[in-house]
Structure 1
Amino acid sequence: MTDQQPLDPTHAFAELGRIKLHETDLDGVLLQVATLAKRTIPGIEDASVSLIRAKNARTAAFTGELARQMDERQYEEGGGPCMEAAATLAVVSVPDLGDEQRWPHYTPAALKAGVHSSLSVGLPMHEDVTGALNMYSRKPDAFDDEAVVLARTFSGYAAVAVSNAHTYDATTTLAQHMQAAMEHRAVIEQAKGIIMASRHCTADEAFKILSKLSQDTNRKLRDVAAALVEQAPASPKR
């Protein structure tokens, strides 16, 4: 991703508030968060956003390969600043990885990759999902006290945008599932009507016939119903 001009924090906060949820998805919002963080918080070479649910962790957005690789190394080792920040929803600052003792497996790998300092801030997401905004630098002591304070403030604004995006995404997905369920129910009812007319049976008997056909052909009930409706002769026009 190409570098962009530094952004004034006030403008960055306004950008977070102007994200149009209907024009993107959750990962799109998270990419905007990572990109704005890189442009706003001094010292960042690469930024990312981690999402963690139970034991499953993934990097949902990143501004460069360095951030993605460092995140994934922490997932593999089961520990590191981004995972600690996500678990505690706190700020985890690593001024100099050369002096770091907390993560004996991750630290050598990070140093080998050229990372010498990092900053991770926990992001409350939604119910059982937590996250972290991760910032990496090849320089030691890249994030001074002012950068830490700014990162904490930025993350507060980002958390609101991310929470709204997660809720919007979940609501949209639920609506899509409900719409699909209604469509499936409609085609099943049509198929039952066709069976009732041809077999002169009740609705319950028609459903049993449809269910048995589904089992015998090892196909989903809705697929069997759809095929039956499609094969049915069209009603004569009056």
Structure 2
Amino acid sequence: MAHRIASLALAVVPCDAAAVTVPSASGRPALAATSPQAMQALRLPGGPGAGSSLADVGPVGHVHVRDTASDPRWRDWGRDVAMLGHRSVLVVPLSSRSGEPGRLDLYAEDPDAFDDEACLRATELGGLASVAIGVAHDRDGLRRALDARGDIGIAVGVLVERYGLTVDAAFQVLVRHSQHHNVKLRDVARRLVEEGDLPDEGSWEA
């Protein structure tokens, strides 16, 4: 699960590396990263993902460190991350039915590398990854987990039930459609929920 989330993050969000801590029902989180440097960064103490919760997330659903070398909030952590070659970081919390915290970290080599669209994609991916974690922990709770995630989760559920896809594959369908039509992922999901199917070519035009 952790490796799939990290690989998917690298494909969905423009970044140079990704690392994931996936909570588990056993209490021992699974760790995965797309590079050795990202794994080192994930294990560093004192950053925005330290402790039992991400207190700095706020209403936006993520922590955005525009420049690890100069951000005053986590000076020691930022210095160490910058030395690993990561100057921009996005940290997205992951939840689970077990209540144990997890997180998705995205790294970029350049300062201020994540724009608003990248932040949105990361946050949406974090929500869907949390759904997938919940499904893995309790497959009988699939409908409740998907319903709790709004239109994107419901749209994933529609594709899972209609076409027999996995949660990861259904989310990839939505992502590809979003990228192909240059439409936000949540708008693709809302269209599927409201109309029952993905739109044909050109139907996004006003």
Q: Matches of 1:128 and 1:92 in 2, distance apart?
A: 20
- What pairs up with 1:1-238 in 2 under 5 angstroms? 29-42=1-14, 44-51=15-22, 60-74=31-45, 79-83=46-50, 86-88=53-55, 90-167=61-138
Letter in 1 for 2:131: V
Unpaired segments ≥5 residues, structure 1: 1-28, 169-238
Letter in 2 for 1:95: R
2:179 — aligned with what? Answer: none
What are the Cα deviations for residues 111-170 of structure 1, in whole angstroms up to 9, with x where unaligned? Answer: 2222101001111123331111110111111111110011111111111001111335xx
Q: Which runs of 4+ in 1 moved over 2 A?
A: 56-59, 81-90
Q: Matches of 1:65 and 1:47 in 2, distance apart?
A: 10
Q: Contact 1:86/1:132 (CA < 8 Å) preserved in 2?
A: no
TM-score normalised by the chain length of structure 1:
0.51
Alignment length (residue pairs): 133
CA RMSD of aligned residues (A): 2.4
How far residue 52 of structure 1 moved from its aligned partner, in angstroms, is 6.3
Q: Contact 2:93/2:104 (CA < 8 Å) preserved in 1?
A: yes
How far residue 86 of structure 1 moved from its aligned partner, in angstroms, is 4.4
Q: Contact 1:48/1:68 (CA < 8 Å) preserved in 2?
A: yes
More helix by share: 1
Q: Contact 2:81/2:87 (CA < 8 Å) preserved in 1?
A: yes
TM-score normalised by the chain length of structure 2:
0.58
Q: Matches of 2:115 and 2:21 in 1, distance apart?
A: 23
Q: Contact 1:91/1:122 (CA < 8 Å) preserved in 2?
A: yes
Identical-pair percentage = 31
Q: Matches of 1:145 and 1:85 in 2, distance apart?
A: 27
How far residue 95 of structure 1 moved from its aligned partner, in angstroms, is 0.9
Q: Matches of 1:59 and 1:66 in 2, distance apart?
A: 17
Q: Matches of 1:100 and 1:156 in 2, distance apart?
A: 26
Unpaired segments ≥5 residues, structure 2: 140-206
Q: Matches of 1:120 and 1:128 in 2, distance apart?
A: 18
Q: Matches of 2:76 and 2:22 in 1, distance apart?
A: 21
